[in-house]
Structure 1
Amino acid sequence: MTLTASNRPVLADEITDKLRRMIHSGEWPLQQKIPAEPELMATLGVSRGTLREAIKALAHGGMLEVRRGDGTYVRATSEISGAAQRMYQDHTQEHILEVRLGLDTQAARLAARNATAEHITAMKALLDQRRDAWNSEDYPAWAQADWDFHVLVAQATGNPLLHELYVSFGAVFHADLLRQHRRSGFNGLPDEGHGKLVEAIEAHDESAAVDSVNRNLNSCAEWLRE
């Protein structure tokens, strides 16, 4: 089939949407290289030009990163997340924490209202992983479990947009945790915003959930000011 100027943009949009779904579904994991052009062209049944238009669109949206001489990597699971990651590079840790405070308190409130028993069980399991990793000095695993816990709280809200916005903080949050653990006297297992938050969510106590988050993030803000 020969693509004309009139039908090529439509096909490129269709391929862009297919690639977007592959990324969003997790078929192509974050930070991993996507298949090479020849494989994608054969799989999707499109020309090199159409494929490159689709990849360019997703790279512009922040979902993909084209590395010359290496390949194309998944940078974010959505355009929202990709755009947010670019914006975070231009702002201070204090600004990011202030935005997180708004998201975290709303996430805590909604999770206390909407979380299921399965959510609660999964939260407790992640806190166990977090504790075990910290005690064994496996700090990357500790940071990952901590972040996964917060993402699960956001997911438990039942609000997919809030969850997606929260996920966009991932790289920044993870890097901050790994920096913090090197500080003398740093407590890697604070109960506020974690254990107490789960207790409040399980009790469907929205006020207690919000209070727990506020105390935890206020202590983080104090650490940044020192």
Structure 2
Amino acid sequence: MKNVGRTSLVDVVIDQLRREITSGRWPVGEKIPPESSLVGTLGVSRLSVREAVRALVHAGLLATRQGDGTYVTASDETSVALTRLLADVADRDVEEVRQGLDLVAARLAARRRTPADLEELRAIAARRQLHYEAEELKEFVEADIAFHLCVARAGHNPLLLDLYTTLSTALRDTILADDMRHSTTDAHQDLLEAIEAGDPVAADAAAQAILAV
């Protein structure tokens, strides 16, 4: 962090602290430096630091633990806001939106996947299949979620990935409580092969077949 100068406003301090969080220098779960340390590093008043921290607590990026300190709780304010919104939304509505993102993710992944994306997709698909054959529901669902998140990541659209990740997290308990109806092994294999072939039309068709189950 750089010294922001004594005449800077509180929102500049907020921006500096936010940058430490979003850059990953202060990862989620980590305790941030104490107030006295931030005052010295930033060259601002204790009151300015206190107000900046309070603002980021309100935004959901930080949480203060009485007698312990302040910890990073999230790295993206958009995800925090969406998570708060989803708390009052029916699971069915969340699932319908997530399914729409599945189709977009499949098409983008077919166009933009990298060799590293394909390697990760193959590994997760194999793990998913093993858990399915062993009838290990929890492990299977986790692998299924990981597979679809990997497809979204292979689309290389940060906004899509953030939305998909947040929606999948919101639905995790619901999916775990379900049976193995999402075990469309053939359709998932078709999706993987379409992405490997770089065929967005086939990827779209495979994604629709998965959603039709």
Which bin holds the TM-score, normalised by the shorter protein?
A: 0.7 to 0.9
Aligned to 1:37: 34
Provide the residue aligned with 2:90 in structure 1: 92
- TM-score, length basis structure 1: 0.74
- The 1:160/1:129 distance shift into structure 2, 3 A limit, reads same
Checking the alignment, whether the CA contact within 8 Å between 1:192 and 1:213 is kept in structure 2 is no
Q: CA RMSD in A?
A: 3.2
State the distance in 1 between where 2:77 and 2:39 align: 26
Task: String of CA shifts for 1:91-148, please: whole Å, max 9, x gaps.
Answer: 0011001111221211111111111121111111122333445638482x54444333
Gapped runs of 5+ residues in structure 2?
Answer: none
Match of 1:167 in 2: 165
AA of the residue aligned to 2:93: H
What displacement does 1:70 show?
A: 5.6
- The answer for the alignment partner of 1:129 in structure 2 is 127
Counterpart selection for 2:191 from 180, 183, 197: 197
Query: In the TM superposition, what whole-angstrom CA distance separates every residue of 1:9-33 from its partner, at most 9, and x where no partner exists?
Result: 2xx3333233333333334444x24
Q: Give the direction of change, closer, same or farther, for the CA distance of 1:52–1:169 in structure 2 (3 Å limit).
A: farther
8 Å contact from structure 2 (residues 61, 75) kept in 1: yes
C-alpha displacement of 1:193: 6.2
SS class of match (2:177):
helix
Query: TM-score if structure 2 supplies the norm length?
Result: 0.78
Residues 73, 97 of structure 1: alpha-carbon distance in 2 compared, 3 angstrom cutoff: farther
2-side partners of 1:21 and 1:157: how far apart? 25
Q: Where do residues 23-172 of structure 1 align in structure 2 (5 Å cutoff)? A: 23-30=21-28, 32-35=29-32, 37-38=34-35, 41=38, 44-45=41-42, 46-68=44-66, 71-132=69-130, 135=134, 137=136, 139=138, 141-172=139-170
CA shift in 2, pair 1:215/1:136, >3 Å? closer
Paired residues of 2:149 and 2:165 also in contact (CA < 8 A): yes
Query: How many Å separate the matches in 2 of 1:102 and 1:65?
Result: 33
* TM-aligned CA deviation for residue 37 of structure 1: 2.7
Unaligned runs of 5+ in 1: 220-226
1:74 offset after TM fit, Å?
3.6
Partner Cα separation in structure 2 for residue 77 and residue 33 of structure 1: 11
1:136 and 1:165 map into 2 onto residues whose CA distance is: 30
Whether the aligned pair in 1 keeps the contact of 2:109 and 2:156 (CA below 8 Å) is: yes
Shift of 1:84: 0.7
Q: Taking structure 1 as reference, are residues 128 and 87 closer, same or farther at Cα in structure 2, changes over 3 Å only?
A: same
Q: Are the equivalent residues in 1 in contact too, given 2:110–2:196 (CA < 8 A)?
A: yes
Structure 1 letter corresponding to 2:85: M
Structure 1 pair 102–64 and aligned structure 2 pair: CA distance change class (3 A): farther
CA gap of 1:194–1:59, structure 2 versus 1, over 3 A, is farther
- The 1:71/1:202 distance shift into structure 2, 3 A limit, reads same
Partner SS state of residue 77, structure 1: coil
